[in-house]
Structure 1
């Protein structure tokens, strides 16, 4: 086994990973633009045959089924909804960019359940709970939540053997994955994920949320980072795609900066779980 000699070695391996489909990167980059037209989204999705095929397959689940089925991306957008199809495109695009590694014991299905749960939770909290003056776009919150753990997929693809050692270290030392990665790799998946997001020219607010959500009190943070942190912890509490390890501690400072408390969060639990089940059904 060839262990990386430095963090630079890991980053170089990450840099060699295939680029996410152009259509998906454009959708994510424009996620906070409310002026994007339906025709523009349809064109972006239709430009990628694999992506459009996956979108039509998901749109034709029994939840959205209609007589004769949905035959075009335009029909999917009109029948399922603009934002729902945009979310599907982001989900599928990211999934297809990181196919399951044949040698890993990593639970991909559980990873995606948790990622989608964090995204859904972040969007619902941004809509229902957080003060409007914070200026948090619910759609950006969803994408930030969905991508918060993308560095794990990058490490599996770039340095699979070393990532397995980190997972074994976590199990034997009963520590967090971040602590295990730092011990084995000298870096962690949050930093790697942010590096990849910057390479793909994602909005800075998304890059920061990916990098800083594990420990929002350790560095200057944003309200979006605090929101993703709270959403991740909440998904662990609700057992949405959470692994068997201890849930990360909740930052009281993040809650304070967002000006929320547990009693404000509790009424959202049912909606979070309902929307999560709907997405899980589409993912299969």
Structure 2
């Protein structure tokens, strides 16, 4: 009767047509009933919609909302009002994200748990007298100098940078350079063998990984992974580092998924740009903790976008600090430019790439996939959304697919089983 969003499909509904993921193979034939396991696989494989017999899209959407506790929904709606205050909720994409946020967080929650979730997702509220006094503008030159002394990049990092720059770098040479760092090599192979790539056979060597994924793609990925090892010593009361990397990995995964869906290419480069988009904020937390602490509290107290608050308070945004830091590390210029413009994609030299990270960042914040110090959702640039040409109906499956891949990669990057 109608094509409905996969998040509105319920076990027992009967398909009108075959259910296929983007890869093309049939997951479930028309005329069969959908089960819980089918829905789980659909979310992992990025199936956005299903043609269901006897149910319209409007009926399915209403049924999904009616299955949720209205008191729980009201608690989360109040939270959504606060979290989405800095962006235009009239935009179809933002409306869609609010709905996905509500449904994903309300499902199966009791009222007591909903209140706890609301406190956790909003973060600490500033108390009277807690706000540090205004700080002088950031001295970027001083900060970059400190970072040059503090940064403990892997020994092979500069060799990988040179391999990226050289048009003569062969697959075997790149594999040999990366292979000199056993920890980096192990993480790379674990990612290549994870559902992030979904290869049918196991990839046992770096040489094979380079051959299958590509020389430039693997070196970009290696650089991104190497940078995640740099930052330590940031006080946990200032920033939850697990939440930071959860957000950053989510943005990387979402940017890569969007690049695949839109067909822009450069998927690994987009993953690395998303992964590193907020490293400037880490540099500020490490070198100017009072500046950073004041910014976190201001972000909770005011609804002005965080990057605007930074320019007002610091004289520079975390995006610009990140791009300067990446330039110091000699990372590829296209990555520097995307990071610099991820809050203002319209002024980027490659606006399509900046739009991918911009939208990915918005989605990750909207769905509360970690955080980077701010709990509010940044504004959406409507032109960036329009440039990508995607529909809000894609958001639920995109969110589910991204969260699944993010969990896998986070375990690998942090080298644990969290």
Give me the TM-score of the superposition, normalised by structure 2.
Answer: 0.54
Partner of 2:183: 53
CA contact 1:130–1:258 (8 Å) conserved in 2: yes
The residue aligned with 1:67 is none
CA contact (8 A) 1:116 1:146 kept: yes
**Structure 1's 114 and 10: CA in aligned 2 closer, same or farther, altered over 3 A?**
same
SS of equivalent to 1:269: helix
CA-to-partner distance for each residue in 1:66-122, whole Å, 9 max, x for gaps? xxxxxxxx955379x455986774454212211132475211111101111111111
Residues 1:175 and 2:304 aligned together: yes
> What TM-score, normalized by structure 1, do the two folds share?
0.76
Q: Does 1:160 align with 2:289?
A: yes
> Residues 76 and 204 from structure 1, CA distance in 2 versus in 1: closer, same or farther, beyond 3 angstroms?
same
Partner residue, 2:146? 16
User: Matched residue pairs, number?
Assistant: 265
Identify which range, 170-179 or 231-240, moves more after superposition: 170-179
- Deviation of 1:33 after TM superposition, in Å, equals 9.1
Cross-structure match for 1:112: 245
Alpha-carbon contact 1:118-1:146 (below 8 Å) kept: yes
Give the Å deviation of 1:160.
1.7
Matched residue SS, 2:228: helix
Any conservation in 2 of the 1:148–1:190 contact (CA below 8 Å)?
yes
* CA–CA separation in structure 2 for the residues paired with 1:33 and 1:261: 39
Unaligned runs of 5+ in 2: 1-131, 195-202
What SS does structure 1 have at the residue aligned with 2:291?
Answer: helix
Q: Aligned equivalents of 1:31 and 1:123: distance in 2?
A: 20
Matched, 1:276 2:406: yes
**2:229 matched to 1:96?**
yes
RMSD (CA atoms):
3.6
Distance 1:221 1:92, change over 3 A: closer
**Cα distance, 1:252 vs. partner?**
1.7
Please identify the structure whose Cα radius of gyration is greater. 2
The structure-2 alpha-carbon separation of the partners of 1:33 and 1:107, relative to structure 1 and needing over 3 Å to count, comes to: farther
- CA apart distance, 1:36: 5.8
Following the alignment from structure 1 to structure 2, what is the Cα–Cα distance between the partners of residues 34 and 268?
35
Which of 312, 316, 321 is residue 187 of structure 1 equivalent to?
316
Q: Which residue of 2 aligns with 1:263?
A: 393
Kept after mapping to 1: 8 A contact 2:248/2:274: yes
Query: 1: CA distance between counterparts of 2:396 and 2:143?
Result: 42
Asked whether the equivalents of residues 175 and 206 of structure 2 are also in contact (C-alpha less than 8 Å), the reply is: yes
Shift of 1:275: 1.2
Q: Map 1:74-85 to 2 at 5 A.
A: 75=204, 77=206, 81-82=209-210
In 2 relative to 1, CA 228–28 (structure 1 residues): closer, same or farther, beyond 3 Å? farther
Q: Could you list the per-position Cα deviations for residues 140-183 of structure 1 after superposition, in whole angstroms to 9, with x for gaps in the alignment?
A: 11111111011011111221222112212222324333233223
1:249-271 CA-to-partner distances (Å, cap 9, x unmatched) read 22220122223332345543332
Q: Give CA-to-partner distance per residue, 1:221-276, whole Å, 9 cap, x none.
A: 52110110011112223332246722112222012222333234554333222211
Gaps of 5+ in 1: 65-73
